[in-house]
Structure 1
Amino acid sequence: MAVHNDKGKEAENLAKDWLIGRGYEFVEANYRSGHAEIDLIFKHKGIMVFVEVKFRSGTGFGYAEEFVDGTKRKLLIKAADNFVYERDWHNDIRFDIIGVYRDQNGNVNFKQFEDAFY
């Protein structure tokens, strides 16, 4: 597996643990539908939350939320629609982006963008 894939999986695991610590109920990881993949899916306060995780080793090239473009959003929405249909979910949903940032000292910080798009 490529180094960037390893870092991506590590970031997903860190984000998963961080959200669980914040009271989110884990549902599924790496849900695939066609060409789309949803990194993490949680329930929180009666809402199904679809999470896109982005790892950054700094902000010199931009922030996490800047790397979820229109094409990616459309794929995520399509996959979420399929998930909702498969699970017969009739309550609210939302799309979050979690930025996982590691500084030069190895410290990890998180930034959550709730309801980032639809």
Structure 2
Amino acid sequence: MAGHNDLGRQGETIAKTYLESHGYEILDENWCHGKAEVDLIGYKDGIIIFVEVKTRTGTGFGMPEDFVDMRKQRLLTEAADEYIYLMNHQGEVRFDIIAILFNKNVTYTLKHIEDAFWPSAE
């Protein structure tokens, strides 16, 4: 398996642990719809939270959160629409990003960006 896949899985595990320790219930992991995959789907205070986890080992190409571009946001929104429909969720929805940046010493920083983006009305 490619190293970047291992790093991504490690980041998702860290993000899941972080969210659970902050009172989130994890409803699904790696939920797919069409070409979109939602890394984590959480629930807290009546809100379903769709979480994109980005893990990197450096900032040479930008911060981890910079990689959630408009295309990715559109895919996540489409997947979220389907999930909301299937779950018959009538409450609020939020899109978060968890950015994890590892350094050379195998330690990391985690940045949780709530309401990272709003779905565009297309």
Question: Same-fold call, TM > 0.5?
Answer: yes
Structure 2 unaligned runs (5+)?
Answer: none
Question: Aligned residues: percent identity?
Answer: 47
- Once the two structures are superposed, residues 63-91 of structure 1 have per-residue CA deviations (whole angstroms, 9 ceiling, x without a partner) of 12210111110000000000000000000
Deviation at 1:60, TM superposition (A): 2.8
Matched residue count:
118
More strand by share: 1
- Once the two structures are superposed, residues 10-37 of structure 1 have per-residue CA deviations (whole angstroms, 9 ceiling, x without a partner) of 1101100011111111111000000000
Q: Measure the CA separation in 1 of the matches of 2:96 and 2:83.
A: 16
Question: 1:68: which partner in 2?
Answer: 68
Q: Please, what is the CA RMSD of the aligned residues?
A: 0.9
Q: Measure the CA separation in 2 of the matches of 1:108 and 1:80.
A: 29
Structure 1 unaligned runs (5+)?
Answer: none
1:92 corresponds to 2:92: yes
Amino acid in structure 1 at the alignment position of 2:3 = V
Runs of 4+ in 1 over 6 A off after TM superposition: none
**Residue pairs, 1:1-118, within 5 angstroms:** 1-118=1-118
